[in-house]
A and B are shown apart, each in its own frame.
Chain A
Amino acid sequence: MSKSFTPKVVTANDLLKGDVIYQTATGWTRDLADAEILTDEAHADLRLIEGSQQIADVVGVYLMDVALDGTAPQTTHFREAFRAKGPSNYVHGKQEVA
């Protein structure tokens, strides 16, 4: 494992619903807590490519940084925090169902 590599999660938007999703070992989830944590750079690149190939289901696939709180992934940038929660002016988006 490369030293400078920080943990990542593959994220995207769902093609049909448009909402934020995260890759798991077997598919996609809407809950960051269930996402597959990638700690190896080569493996992360591979998972990114695999995710990007699922063009019939997802759009805008990329790797996002996470911090680990025990084993649970936490967002590190405020943009990802909003994606994981929803807008700040209404209780809409993920926070609506949470």
Chain B
Amino acid sequence: MYTYNDFDKSFIATRNAQFRDQVERRIDGSLTEDEFKPLRLMNGLYLQLHAYMLRVAIPYGTLNGGQMRQLAFIADKWDKGYGHFTTRQNIQYNWPELRDVPDMLDALAKVGMHAIQTSGNTIRNVTADHFAGASADEIADPRPVAELIRQWSTDHPEFQFMPRKFKIAITGSPNDRAVTRAHDIGLRMVEKDGEAGFEVIVGGGLGRTPMIGKVITDFLPQEDLLPYLESVVSVWNQIGRRDNKYKARIKITVHEHGIEEIRRLVDERFAIVKGSFSGIDQVRLAEYKTHFAAPDFVVKSEAVFKDAYHSDPIFRSWADTNLSAHKADGYSIVSISIKKHGDTPGDATSDQMRLMADLAEAYGHNELRISHEQNVILPHVHKSDLPALHAALKEQGLATANIGLISDIIACPGMDYCALATARSIPIAQEIATRFDDLKLEHDIGNLKIKISGCINACGHHHVGHIGILGLDRAGVENYQVTLGGDHTETAKIGDRAGRGFEAHELVPAIERVVDTYLALRTDKDEEFIETYRRLGLAPFKAALYPEAQADAA
């Protein structure tokens, strides 16, 4: 893992001192709220419905046990003993007070963490495949490049007051777990004639106008990455719309000017910008690669694992759903579900965080990841340690066997916390998870992704959920719109809107009807929901959602 050098430490310390000063200057009136707002946002501080919210970056989702323990400490000392892991590989604290935030940032700095550019109209913290460096299907570990991008984008003087936010995601695997096609820039690591490079995708995004990104270049040599990114962002900073914030994202710029014109402008700028890079970034990249060297994997017997797998059905069920293939023999990637039925998706208590930190140190080569699906990953666990790990997780309510299943729901904070929300998301997620747990159906249903957003901004990725749910305010009543058939992977697709929305009490039965339709129509147990949907399209599901329309037509 990357560890901060003296430069990083000094940078963070000065930056925190600046923010402490900005807080004081807001309080003494030197800064108006209008002026303070972008400054606090640049440092991850929002104002929500009931309190401030501090969003802490977990760059490319990677952290170690000590860092996780510090997150728990911060939750206890300045918050209410828990934190919320988000789809953007952040953790959010929902209850800090303004004067405490500089202290919280200093506490983060102690373990090499920060909240810089987790918000505001800047380049946001870069996200990456949460299985990076562990997955069997990977071409290359994207994290050294992600770290390079983190440093380049941090405090970039040209890019702190842009038309809107700018999000970059990177994957080193052909199986896209980083949703690269729904980012302002998505990077896919590729190889051409033995040379390492990137496919660069621009103009993806969700929100009010969801768009799948377009390929601006199918092969960018590795050493051109930073000047090329800089050219894209610079062009957009200049021509992106500032008259209407809903049209400000680069997806709209690409849409309005066309990808060919954007490519031309970027190439033109790249010719000028490239000369301002000496190539030292590539030397640093080579150094960062050593930071992310694979741990020393051990070779030992898997007998304990096999015994437990055969003798303990609860362990077996967990192993079947929560483990993924590792590149090293004898190892597994463990997904710890932060989606216990009925709990708030993505919320972990400080005790749970401390346990996960301990387990990472004991069994996981001291590494943890946060996934965009709001779960925690132990990327490197030897199979022989899994039974002990599972037993420990059970003690803290962390052994739910539901990864990828219908109760592994992404939900944004919604109206319970968010000032922009039009309806709640969390109770909907709780109800759906509890209902399908009661029905004992979820293992039979198999892989099915439900994603819920509490407003059109789509923080809960509803557009790319197999079943997407969007909460709206319809004449003062919470109302939920359903989309079907979305896909967040390398075959990314925006879901189809089914029809009129549902009131909260109608929603769970409606989802049940969709699921029943799938169960009735699938060719066999191996055909997943999304495959059945692709085969049959919206019609049978729509009919199930709106039986009254069928009755009218009859």
Contact = CB atoms under 8 A, between A and B. Distances in A.
Given A55-B33, A86-B50, A77 B476 contact: yes
A55 B34 CA distance: 10
A16 B97 contact: yes
Interface string A19-40: 1100000000000000000000
Nearest to A76: B476
Interface in A70-98: 76-79, 82-83, 86-90, 92-94
Contacts of A94: 50
A76 to B, nearest CB: 8
B49 A82 contact: yes
B416 A83 contact: no
Contacts of A59: 33, 47
A17 interface: yes
A3 B335 CA distance: 60
Contacts of B415: 78-79, 82
B27 A15 contact: yes
B52 A18 contact: yes
Contact of A16 (B28, B50, B99): B99
Interface string B422-437: 0010110010000000
Given A55-B29, A79-B415, A82-B415, A60 B51 contact: no
Interface residues of B, number: 33
A83 B99 contact: no
B51 A17 contact: yes
Contacts of A1: none
A78 B33 contact: no
Contact of A56 (B29, B51, B99, B424): B29
Interface in A5-20: 13, 15-20
Nearest to B49: A83
B98 interface: yes
Nearest to A81: B415
Given A60-B47, A78-B476, A88-B416, A17 B426 contact: no
Nearest to A13: B47
Interface in A40-59: 55-56, 59
A17 to B, nearest CB: 5
A40 B274 CA distance: 63
A17 B97 contact: yes
Interface residues of A, number: 25
Most buried by B among A20, A77, A88, A94: A88
A13 B53 CA distance: 13
B198 interface: no
Given A59-B33, A89-B416, A20 B50 contact: yes
A78 B503 CA distance: 14
B32 interface: yes
A87 to B, nearest CB: 4
B159 interface: no
Contact of B32 (A55, A83, A89): A55
A89 B430 contact: yes
A92 B95 contact: yes
A22 B46 CA distance: 20
Contacts of A15: 26-27, 98
A28 to B, nearest CB: 16
A18 B417 contact: no
Contacts of B424: 88
B361 interface: no
Contacts of A93: 50-51
A40 to B, nearest CB: 24
A19 B51 contact: yes
Nearest to B50: A93
A20 B419 CA distance: 12
Contacts of A56: 27-29
Contact of B47 (A18, A55, A87, A88): A18
A45 to B, nearest CB: 20
Going nearest first, the 7 A-B pairs with the smallest beta carbon separation are A87-B416, A18-B52, A18-B51, A93-B50, A89-B344, A89-B426, A16-B98
Given A15-B98, A56-B27, 12 more contacts: A13-B47, A18-B52, A18-B96, A18-B98, A56-B28, A78-B415, A78-B478, A79-B421, A87-B426, A88-B426, A88-B427, A89-B344
Interface of B: 26-29, 32-33, 47-52, 80, 94-99, 344, 347, 415-417, 421, 424, 426-427, 430, 473, 476-478
26 contacts: A15-B98, A16-B27, A16-B98, A16-B99, A17-B97, A18-B47, A18-B51, A20-B50, A55-B32, A55-B33, A56-B28, A59-B47, A60-B47, A78-B478, A79-B49, A79-B421, A79-B473, A83-B49, A87-B417, A88-B416, A88-B426, A89-B347, A90-B80, A92-B80, A93-B50, A94-B50
